[in-house]
Structure 1
Amino acid sequence: MKILILGGGGREHAIGKKLLEDNHSVNLYFYPGNGGTEIIGKNIENHQTLLELGVFAKKNAVDITIVGSEIFLIEGIVDIFQNFGLKIIGPNHLAAKLEGDRIFAKSFMKKYGIRTPKYDVFYCYKKAIHFLDQCIGSVVIKTNGIAAGKGVILAHNKNEAKKALKTIMIEKKFGKSGNQIIIEEFLQGKEASIMSFFNEKHIIPFLSALDYKKIGENETGINTGGMGAIVPNPYMTNSIWIDFQKNILEPTLEGLISEKLTFFGFLYFGLMITSNKVYLLEYNTRLGDPEAQTLFPLMKSNFLDVIQSSFLSKKVSIYWKKLCSCCVVLSSKGYPEKYKSGKIIIGLNSLQDPFYIAGANKKQGNWITSSGRVLNMVGLGNTIQEARKQAYDKVKKIQFENLYFRKDIGS
């Protein structure tokens, strides 16, 4: 079987490793891939348009394509591949708006009674400023479009909120993503990520994860694509899980079917757990990163069987190891803003699985950094503490210039 995986980070390396672990004979293609994916499959070289990727998949008789990165989804790759008669895991262009268009997603939540923080939408900078003058306390300001996971700013007071508005709407730090914004009520609580598989009829949730989004320890500083994660999320109690199913998962399924937003693929629920309720902050229509890297080492089920079940119209259950997992992201100092690449990585060859390459390539026998997030160190254990120790023991084996990581993942 030939499988094409779209994306070039640690998540895509993790998808590929899991597929190979379960099915030794699969042939993997990646676009654009990285140094890790090159070892387990074949990276498609040269820049490819979405149409060219469709032609490649058709020409090479690719059986299934798995979309890792949201960029491809929002640009409509699923529609293109389906027009070619190709099997692809991911939402069509309209359903991908659940991630790519926050105003669209919020309207969907409101229509189907999905519990979410109160919010207001603004297209005009002056009107947004006027609204902030009436606000008391903290607010969350979000770009309408995607911004590589960085378009969400928590403002603790009016000055911070006005500064964030200026950054988004006037200075255009996030480009067109900031043409419209959402100002949302701030909820005090703990975040949770629940990824799931959607087969057009059922949403099958994975284990809960706790994602560490901020660059600084104790969740300080600016948002990143994710600096680490643990599974299971210790704040996801049985009562909160029941609340999530009743007030978020079930009405989401109803809405997806009613609005004809059905697809074969992944649905990610970004949640906030308060003292006694859970709220939906956002949807993603693909696997999270680094949550996927934290979850796959715990998945007992054959991942390819899970994916193929949708095309075969079979209901599937997903089974998990009774272990805990901790992922620590090693990054280039300066990420998510300015950072330098091209640094030699020492110690990579001494690592034992699970670990994943996010932004590194092999050149002339040396591993070289190539991106902001470079490596994902994963530890497993009977407790989060055991998993955390194993992950940080792996971190100690790695060296490169301008190496940065958070020291509090899972603490």
Structure 2
Amino acid sequence: MESKRFLFVSADAALIGDLAWQIHGEGHDVKYYIEAERDREIADGFVPKTDDWRAEVEWADVIVFDDIWVGPDIGTGALAEELREQGKAVVGGTPNTDHLEEDRGYAMEILEEHGVNTVEHHIFHSFEEGIRHVQENPAPYVVKPLGEVQNVKRLLYVGTEDDGSDVVEVLRAYEKAWGHRMKGFQLQRKVEGVEVAVCGFFDGERFVEPVNFNFEHKKLFPGNIGPSTGEMGTSMFWSRRNELFERTLGRLEDWLADEGYVGSIDLNCIVNATGVYPLEFTPRFGYPTIALQEEAMESPTGEFFHDLAHGRDPDLRVHRGYQVGVRIVLPPFPFDDEKTYDENSRNAAIVFEDGDREGVHIEDAKNVDGQWRAAGESGMPLVVTGKGETMREARVQCYDRVDDVIIPNLYYRDDVGDRWVEGDGDRLHAWGYLGPRDSVGSRSAD
């Protein structure tokens, strides 16, 4: 494929630097815009930058938005829709698909309208009403904030008490500490089972095959302990359309086509022997999921996204097996503490013990005269990935590569992929959701 021009836009925080770097490394022209001042140095030295993305629109063959947020408000879907009306090829959402993430009640309505079962859920804009609901209907609940404050991932709370008493206490605490920022919250009845995300790339008319199934590790510490971080690591595999896909994202294919959606869309679910229960949408790239998806792609990445944005039913060839990705973080992640960050992490040198950077992807990093360094304010410099014919082999390769990374004060989860090996894979097969083996690769639970 001849060189194309890609414009990457982070209308809020910088998230898409690694994909820009990958496509730039394939020989394409790239320009990257970052709105958030605190993130402006991220990806410096890896990709060319621009200070005015709108001035580059006519230059670009493809425009890629990395998130739904424009500052504190959703809005990239409207920008993408506007650009498409001008005839531009865009990877990005629409106003309605933005709302799938921002408004959890709306998301559940769309699922129900298309025949997808949902777990019992209620939206509240009053803490008092939410507390009263739990007291009158005692059970374990999951608390999910609404609006821009949902990006503060540690506010998501999964209840453990059968009478909901812990949820009541958490809501009272949130009212005092966050009541001025929370637009509201969703209470979702807690369901036990295997947590799995169904993810597909959509080209404006249809889902591209194969589709992706990934397993997120959101808590800070191994064993799923500690504060929610957004994501500490991901394991995944790819498959043709199977029962799990057809009962979830597959039912939204016509709706997404009517919207003209282009890009990655992810539906996180709890699955058990009695059914599939969607939890939440990610109508955009996932992080660090996209880095791991890049690692799995055997098709040229730039060609794939160029064809996706132009609705050309792109060829997607992926690794036959399993992939594991681990996020390397620095203090005070996942919290904000400027003093701690300055003392322990700012501009930290990133060194590779044997010089091999295979499977290493950048997040909040920069390249200063050949020396990689931590950048930004968030303390998430790298994602390290591995592949294998089995999940166990993918884990071994990933963590062997992690061992080669040297950054003062780094930390990470050392159990990414364990849940699949320890039984999640066997359960999904036993319940009949994954179907037979296919041309994409082996489905061994080892």
Category of TM-score, reference length = shorter chain: 0.7 to 0.9
Pick from 318, 328, 335: which aligns with 2:333?
335
Q: Deviations over 1:179-238 (max 9, x none)?
A: 1211001111121123211123212353211111111211122211210111228xx9x9
Letter in 2 for 1:152: L
Corresponding residue for residue 323 of structure 1: 321
Structure 1 residue 197 and structure 2 residue 234: aligned?
no
Q: Deviations over 1:334-366 (max 9, x none)?
A: 311135131522424823222111112344664
Distance in 1, Cα, partners of 2:322 & 2:250: 27
SS of 2:329's partner is strand
Distance in 1, Cα, partners of 2:269 & 2:183: 25
Distance in 1, Cα, partners of 2:315 & 2:246: 20
Distance in 1, Cα, partners of 2:54 & 2:373: 31
Distance in 2, Cα, partners of 1:204 & 1:38: 32
Corresponding residue for residue 359 of structure 2: 354
Residue 165 and residue 204 in structure 1: after superposition, are their counterparts in 2 closer, same or farther (change >3 A)?
farther
Pick from 61, 64, 67: which aligns with 2:62?
64
Residue 25 and residue 195 in structure 1: after superposition, are their counterparts in 2 closer, same or farther (change >3 A)?
same
Does the CA-based 8 Å contact 2:28-2:302 persist in structure 1? no
SS of 1:212's partner is strand
| Displacement of 1:42 | 0.5
Residue 363 and residue 309 in structure 1: after superposition, are their counterparts in 2 closer, same or farther (change >3 A)?
closer
Letter in 2 for 1:41: V
Corresponding residue for residue 434 of structure 2: none
Residue 372 and residue 172 in structure 1: after superposition, are their counterparts in 2 closer, same or farther (change >3 A)?
same
| Displacement of 1:3 | 0.3
Matches within 5 A, 1:259-408: 260-310=258-308, 312-339=310-337, 340=341, 341-348=345-352, 350-363=355-368, 366-370=371-375, 371-408=378-415
Residue 149 and residue 304 in structure 1: after superposition, are their counterparts in 2 closer, same or farther (change >3 A)?
farther
Quote the sequence identity (%): 18
Letter in 2 for 1:389: V
Letter in 2 for 1:3: F
Letter in 2 for 1:222: P
| Displacement of 1:134 | 2.1
SS of 2:168's partner is helix
Distance in 1, Cα, partners of 2:88 & 2:176: 42
Pick from 139, 148, 156: which aligns with 2:151?
148
Distance in 2, Cα, partners of 1:34 & 1:192: 34
The aligned length equals: 392
SS of 2:259's partner is coil
Letter in 2 for 1:307: F
Pick from 3, 6, 21: which aligns with 1:3?
6
Does the CA-based 8 Å contact 2:350-2:374 persist in structure 1? no
Does the CA-based 8 Å contact 1:230-1:326 persist in structure 2? yes
Report the more deviating stretch, 8-17 or 122-131.
Answer: 8-17
Does the CA-based 8 Å contact 1:95-1:262 persist in structure 2? no
* TM-score for the superposition, normalised by structure 2: 0.79
Q: Deviations over 1:278-311 (max 9, x none)?
A: 2211111112111111121111223333333355
| Displacement of 1:265 | 2.0
Matches within 5 A, 1:35-54: 37-45=43-51, 52-54=52-54
RMSD: 2.8
Distance in 1, Cα, partners of 2:42 & 2:178: 34
Corresponding residue for residue 242 of structure 2: 242
SS of 1:265's partner is strand
Letter in 2 for 1:221: G
Report the more deviating stretch, 343-352 or 6-15.
Answer: 6-15
Q: Deviations over 1:38-77 (max 9, x none)?
A: 34420234xxxxxx4223323xx11111112332492233
Distance in 2, Cα, partners of 1:361 & 1:219: 30
Distance in 1, Cα, partners of 2:45 & 2:200: 28
The runs of 5 or more residues in structure 2 that have no matched partner are 419-446
Distance in 2, Cα, partners of 1:3 & 1:145: 30
Letter in 2 for 1:406: R
Corresponding residue for residue 97 of structure 2: 95
* TM-score for the superposition, normalised by structure 1: 0.85
Letter in 2 for 1:156: T
Does the CA-based 8 Å contact 1:11-1:288 persist in structure 2? no
Pick from 417, 420, 424: which aligns with 1:410?
417
